Structure 1
Amino acid sequence: MFQVAIVVGGGNIFRGASAAGNSGLDRSSADYIGMLATVMNAIFLQATMESIGIPTRVQTAFRMSEVAEPYIRRRAVRHLEKGRVVIFAAGTGNPFFTTDTAAALRCAEINAEVVLKATNVDGVYDDNPRRNPNARLLDTLTYQEVTSKDLSVMDMTAITLCQENNIPVVVFNLNQPGNIAKAIQGERVGTLIGGTWNSTVSKTLG
């Protein structure tokens, strides 16, 4: 049985790092607003998933007890064991950290076997595919290659967390129908960071 936890972002509503400085908004305040945006997305996602019969729980990094549970690691693991999808919101609960870092952190905390990073491109390229039509999609990468080549996959804190905890990362296109199912089932899709496809497939399917 698959156990699935989701870390949601809030960039479609408010992006803290981009908004900082506007109208005197400092970075910490902007990041907290961004965290609240992730809670809005999490509640919407929960309602959508439960409307099609998927049991879910939303856990937030800071207390919002009227709308969601506070993040408690043991409770999150128990929900997963019972077959519920756990949606983590409000990032890490701290400013200056991205939802990528929150995903890597929660992944390590609940002993998840792989981070699946859904994005709007097919994976990691050796150059920006929007600027360079000859950019090549990379099949696999090491953590060191991501950092040394400064590839804009995840922020460095997230990559370092994954490396230290030996957690592979699969980067794939969210907009391609069927890709989420393929990624969850361990099929080759997008780019794999920090692992080999055969071993990652066996772990994901295990």
Structure 2
Amino acid sequence: MQYNRILLKLSGEALMGEQQYGIDANRLMQYATEVKSVADLGVQVAVVIGGGNIFRGVQAEQVGLDRVQGDYMGMLATVINSMALQSALEKLGASTRLLSGFSIQQVCEPYVRRRALRHLEKGRVVIFGAGIGSPYFTTDSAASLRAVEIEADVVLKGTRVDGIYTADPEKDPTATRYPRISFDDVMEKNLKVMDMTAFTLCKENNLPIIVFDMNTPGNLERLMAGEDLGTLVTMDGQAYKPSEKHAAPPKA
């Protein structure tokens, strides 16, 4: 496999499928199938999923609620999505652990870095819920931070488009995709990849990002096999060869 340990970032909105709200069962099972397929190949997989299909913290201010309160509500929404993904994975026979940024003892383990690393080494799919447990930080920031902490080889941002474009491809038919691009070029061109806190954290820690189409079945496995999918963001905008610092998880 091209990568030994990955952090997969999924948006909550993607879980809606064709619905206007909530979780689409077919999309949920598709994502679970994709994740299990690469875990079965020996890749150590961690997942962060947003909560925008249920509630986003910024919505709170729009209706006059306290922003901090709204952000905590958004974190709880990510826990709901994380629980749904965990259940779907376990239905497929995957071994999982759900770790939360704040304490919810009945359904999640508290996030402890050493515990997360041990779960990954044992071949369990680790899902990080509740962001980083603090308001004013997005799940993109949580994904970048957790990826740095667990020493992931790459952050994979699964979206509904197949990479980073010169403009929004859904609005501009002349937009072209970047197969590779540097962190500096993304910032200079003001391309929307992640929020700036999350993106800067990856840049400062030389952690590559791949933006790819998660809705096409098999794409995640093809990425792990080394196919040139989506857009790769690196320090110099060139191909990236991950280190071999992470041992493959033991066979069950």
TM-score (norm 2): 0.77
Residue equivalent to 1:120: 160
1:12 is the counterpart of 2:46: no
Report the residue type matching 1:88 in the other structure.
F
Please report the RMSD computed on the Cα atoms of aligned residues, expressed in angstroms: 2.0
Distance 1:142 1:204 in 2: 25
Q: CA offset at residue 100 of structure 1?
A: 0.7
The percent of aligned pairs where both chains have the same amino acid is: 53
Report the residue type matching 2:184 in the other structure.
Q
Distance 1:76 1:184 in 2: 21
- Equivalent pairs counted in the alignment come to 205
1:78 is the counterpart of 2:123: no
Report the residue type matching 1:3 in the other structure.
Q
2:73 to 19, 28, 33: 33
Residue equivalent to 1:102: 142
Report the residue type matching 1:162 in the other structure.
C
1:158 is the counterpart of 2:198: yes
Report the residue type matching 1:197 in the other structure.
A
Residues 58-73 of structure 1: pairs in structure 2 closer than 5 A: 58-73=98-113
Residue equivalent to 2:133: 93
Q: Do the aligned partners of 2:121 and 2:247 also contact (CA within 8 Å) in 1?
A: no
Distance verdict in 2 for CA 1:131–1:201, change over 3 Å:
farther
Which 5+ residue runs of structure 1 have no aligned equivalent? none
Report the residue type matching 1:33 in the other structure.
M
1:47 is the counterpart of 2:68: no
Q: CA offset at residue 135 of structure 1?
A: 0.1
1:199 to 237, 241, 246: 241
Distance 1:76 1:202 in 2: 19
Distance 1:185 1:156 in 2: 30
2:178 to 125, 138, 143: 138
Distance 1:6 1:69 in 2: 15
Higher relative contact order (CA 8 A, sep 6+): 2
Q: Do the aligned partners of 2:117 and 2:150 also contact (CA within 8 Å) in 1?
A: yes
Q: Do the aligned partners of 1:117 and 1:169 also contact (CA within 8 Å) in 2?
A: yes
Distance 1:198 1:91 in 2: 28
Q: Do the aligned partners of 1:124 and 1:138 also contact (CA within 8 Å) in 2?
A: yes
Report the residue type matching 1:16 in the other structure.
G
TM-score (norm 1): 0.93
1:186 is the counterpart of 2:186: no
What SS does structure 2 have at the residue aligned with 1:78? helix
Report the residue type matching 1:69 in the other structure.
E
CA deviations on 1:138-196 (whole Å, 9 max, x unpaired) are: 10111111111111110111111111111000000111111121223332110000153
